[in-house]
Chains A and B, each alone.
Chain A
Amino acid sequence: MTDPMPPAAPSALAAEPVGPAASPPDRPSLPPGRWIRENLFPNARNSILTVFAILVALFTYRGLLNFMFSEERSWIAVRTNLRLMFTQAYPEHQYVRVWVTVGIVMVLAGLSAGIWARWGGVTLKRLMGWLMSGGGLIAVGVLIREPSVLTDAAGETVRDDAGELVRESFAAAMADRWVWWAVALVLFALGLALWLRFDDLARRTSEIPVAWLVFGLPGLLVASTWVIRYGHYAFADGEFIAEPGQLVAMSTRVPWTVMWLLLIGCYGLGRVARERAIASAQAAADASDDVEVAEEGAGGEGAPELPRGALAKTRAVVNLAWVLSPFFLYWVVMRDPEIDYAHVFSTMLPMGLAFGVAGSAVLWWLTRSDAGEVGRLAAIGLLLLAAFHWVAAFFGWYSMLQVARIAFLLLAVAGLLAPNFAGVAAQRRRLVGAWLFVVLLVFYGATVINAPSTIETPTDMFIGGFSVTLLVSVLTIMLSFPIGVLLALARTSRQPIFRVLSTVYIEVIRGVPLITLLLFFSGVLPLFLPDGMEIAELAAAILGYTLFSAAYLAENVRGGLQSIRRGQYEAADAVGLTTTQRTGFIVLPQSLRVSIPPLVGQVIATFKETSLLAIIGLFDFLRMANSVVPNQSQFLGVRREGLLFISVVYWVVAFAMSKYSQRLEQRVGLGQR
């Protein structure tokens, strides 16, 4: 990889024939029997431990299986309530809005994966391991689970004279479970086929692209809804009617198929764009005879790195879409806002135009190359004016639309950033363009947010269940991240006021239980707000979570900041970077990548902590399983199934995030070798 050969090396050295790169000797896999002997039973003590561990695992597994498949379990409560658990009672005829939301996420996910992902492959050996252990696990499960309890014609369990439950015979139980046997056999046979078909070397070196698995498995699942009769649940007159032995309803099957096709299609689109960008960069490199640049990315995992600067616009658009989509989906798609057009034309539109035009003029002036000290003073003046509006609002001196106050503040911030864009015409245009975009966003957002929702649901919230969990965690993470970074910078800043304020804030928040904070924001905060300002319960909850999580994120980022050596600051100073540039280009990028593990830990914690929403009265995922479903007349008291189900969903999401962070660490570790 490295090429430590000095440029002045004598040419005789370069002329030497380069032999094949010395590779470490091949180490074939051990045959199964020897592997087991060497790893599990190498000596008496380890053998005892192995046996003990296997017994513990088996008993735990058996307990779980007996719980899951017990006659007392009513999994139908989970299956029929899937919609409720994920979206609450969203109106049937507007359900297309939910699908549009999922669809947009699928499009973005597909595009992102297509453009960015370098997933590499899974070796046949690992795949074989998964298949065979999966089949083995199912077979063991089928064998060790207790035979089912017999029931009489009335559906009551049969008891013998001693009052013990009567179970069917072992053979009958095995015969009843023939479907599971079939699945286990198929999986095992697939693994065995791989084993027989390829020799050891091929199994260890041939790979299946991870993309096939990532998209193929959901694809199989979706396809199976067209074939396998999972059972169907109709919803009529407020009652669920179970229709076992039917295919899944069209209204579920078709959208999911479309979703999967969207995902695949966008992934393909992204891939094509990526390949083209790589090919054109390669061609350009060949043309300029600068082969080095293009080949540089060829290391790593086989897949070539996307050349820098390639697809810059597409990537910027996709990233921006990711950032904006939660807000757009939540306020526009899911709520179907009823916009007051009279107000829009009389107030919002003229005001937005005024801010756009006047703000652009101000920024254009502030970025003149000779604006200098006057410009700086003008920007600070703007900031004071903006701050004054907020103070005035707090004391109720004069009324002003909130959106105007926000726009003033943003203009002041843009003005303070202006010196970074001064002088060069292209940079000035970029700043003004960004300002116009921000104005558009703010005024559109304000219009949409203030418009009431037209979606009618039994509760006053139009979404609930997993979607509210997801919404709160995504918004909290997006909002708390910048705040946390700013807090960390403030706490390490040389400005005493920033340092003291940030330290006090962080220590206070970290010393208060999250539940207290949530109750405060949902119940107490509205009493403190000035007249005419209201805050929705969900917004209050998000605010509470954000402030809480920001304090913890700040401490994580601060840990990263402290790991940056003093020489980095000095080098940045010595080349003349300003403090802002030093922070943005040198200090933050390095400290953030150091703090990836704790940051992701905090993100996962936030995601799980959203289950506290139930306490302040919101219908989140946990509450659906814990109290809504068990209160339905058909499923009175059926709680454990739901809890197990949501645990699995929480775990899948958290595990995916954790895996992603590991990959992220590997990827950004690149420069630190």
Chain B
Amino acid sequence: MSTQPAHGDATIAVSDELAARDDMIVCRDVDKWFGDFQALSGITATIKEQEIVVVLGPSGSGKSTWIRCINRLEAHQSGQIIVDGIELTNDLRNIEKIRSEVGMVFQQFNLFPHLTVMDNITLAPIWVRRKSRPEAEELAESLLERVGIPEQAQKFPGQLSGGQQQRVAIARALAMEPRVMLFDEPTSALDPEMIKEVLDVMEELARSGMTMMVVTHEMGFAREVADRIIFMEEGEIVEVGTPHHFFTEPAEERTKLFLSQVL
């Protein structure tokens, strides 16, 4: 983002007690069950401001569940999740506050099919951020420029290719001027030739200093862009490390097994 929202106003004064000042996402002993099935067990991790964290792991390892807990699309049952100094509880106002600070990009894009690209992007800035329409449209145009599709503003999502749709989804998330971006397998539903255009946008975003948490199967992206890699299996964090450490000298047997299967 070109302009970071002001930080340190009164509502975030509690942050020092809960987490260090530059901790953007803090998870402590997070547990999550779906019925009898434990999807997350004892997740503890901290993501610093401007850090790029890639979460890897086999299917069903709880990566997506974890990332969806961070903006409360799923509720965790025990432990603490603190985003930008605000703890996620059942308090609706905290949830609303966190959701407007955290952008999310989905595997299936989830664009609003009845609205034009422009309306998809400006809806939340106008109604949640209370921007005026011209202001929001100007922002949307600059974001579309940034993701490389300025000429598609008046089209409907159904008229765009998958890669274009995912880039619109990224622009829609960025329009809220979030402090963190969550990516839930952003390229898994795309045809191979469209994956690169989305990854390029994500790389550019990473270079601009956005805090990002990315669940993906793109090993190349993880190797090139990530500051840290978190490897998960069966709802637990198995190993954390830099890409260099992770891809060349993994410590855990399970990590080695996973890498031998995907590389």
Residues of A within 8 A of B (CB): 1-4, 6-8, 292-293, 296, 423-424, 565, 567-568, 570-578, 581, 585-586, 589-590, 593, 668, 670-673
Contact = CB atoms under 8 A, between A and B. Distances in A.
A571 B173 CA distance: 9
A572 B104 CA distance: 10
B114 interface: yes
B114 A672 contact: yes
B239 interface: no
6 pairs of A and B residues whose beta carbons are closest in the complex: A571-B110, A576-B100, A575-B124, A567-B110, A574-B104, A671-B156
A672 B176 CA distance: 25
Nearest to A584: B127
A576 B110 contact: no
B108 A424 contact: no
Given A1-B159, A292-B154, A672-B158, A576 B114 contact: no
B111 A571 contact: yes
Interface string B79-109: 0000000000000000010011011101010
B129 to A, nearest CB: 8
Interface string B138-153: 0000000000110111
B156 A576 contact: no
B106 A570 contact: yes
A177 to B, nearest CB: 56
A586 B124 CA distance: 11
Contacts of B128: 575-578, 581
Given A574-B99, A574-B103, A672-B158, 4 more contacts: A6-B163, A424-B130, A574-B102, A671-B114
B96 A576 contact: yes
Interface string B156-192: 1111110110000100110010000000000000000
Contact of B160 (A2, A423, A590): A2
A375 to B, nearest CB: 14
A1 B160 CA distance: 10
A604 B160 CA distance: 37
Q: Which of B112, B157, B173 has the most CB of A within 10 A?
A: B112
Contacts of B113: 590, 671-672
A578 B164 CA distance: 27
Contacts of A570: 73, 106, 110
A672 B157 CA distance: 8
B71 interface: yes
Given A570-B73, A575-B128, A671-B158, A293 B148 contact: no
A124 B71 CA distance: 59
B73 A7 contact: no
22 contacts: A2-B160, A4-B161, A6-B197, A8-B197, A292-B153, A293-B153, A296-B154, A565-B110, A568-B110, A571-B112, A573-B73, A574-B73, A575-B123, A576-B176, A581-B127, A589-B114, A671-B114, A671-B156, A671-B157, A672-B113, A673-B156, A673-B159
A423 B130 contact: yes
B123 A574 contact: no
Contacts of A586: 112
B155 interface: yes
Contact of A670 (B71, B103, B153, B156): B156
B117 to A, nearest CB: 11
A667 B160 CA distance: 19
Contact of B99 (A7, A292, A575, A672): A575
A296 B159 CA distance: 12
Q: Which of B104, B113, B148 has the most CB of A within 10 A?
A: B113
Contacts of B110: 565, 567-568, 570-571
A574 B148 contact: no
B123 A585 contact: yes
B12 interface: no
Contacts of A423: 130
B115 interface: yes
A426 to B, nearest CB: 8
B204 to A, nearest CB: 12
Given A577-B128, A670-B156, A567 B108 contact: yes
B106 A575 contact: no
Nearest to A592: B114
B124 to A, nearest CB: 4
A571 B175 CA distance: 14
Contacts of B156: 670-673
Contacts of B164: 4
Nearest to B158: A673
A418 to B, nearest CB: 14
Nearest to B68: A570
Contacts of A8: 148, 197
B104 A2 contact: no
B112 A577 contact: no
Q: Which of A424, A573, A576, A577 has the most CB of B within 10 A?
A: A576
Contacts of B157: 671
A308 to B, nearest CB: 8
A572 B172 CA distance: 11
A585 B115 CA distance: 9
Contacts of A673: 156, 158-159
Contacts of A573: 71-73, 99
Contacts of A576: 96, 99-100, 124, 128, 176
Contacts of B163: 6
A7 B148 CA distance: 6
B31 to A, nearest CB: 22
Contacts of A577: 123-124, 127-128
A576 B129 CA distance: 9
Contacts of B123: 575, 577, 585
Contacts of B72: 573
A572 B99 CA distance: 10
A578 B128 CA distance: 8
B176 A575 contact: yes
A70 to B, nearest CB: 55
Nearest to B154: A296
Contacts of A293: 153-154
Nearest to A297: B154
A672 B127 CA distance: 24
A7 B145 CA distance: 10
Contact of A3 (B102, B115, B151, B173): B151
A577 B127 CA distance: 7
B30 to A, nearest CB: 19
Given A3-B151, A292-B151, A296-B155, A575 B130 contact: no
Nearest to B105: A574
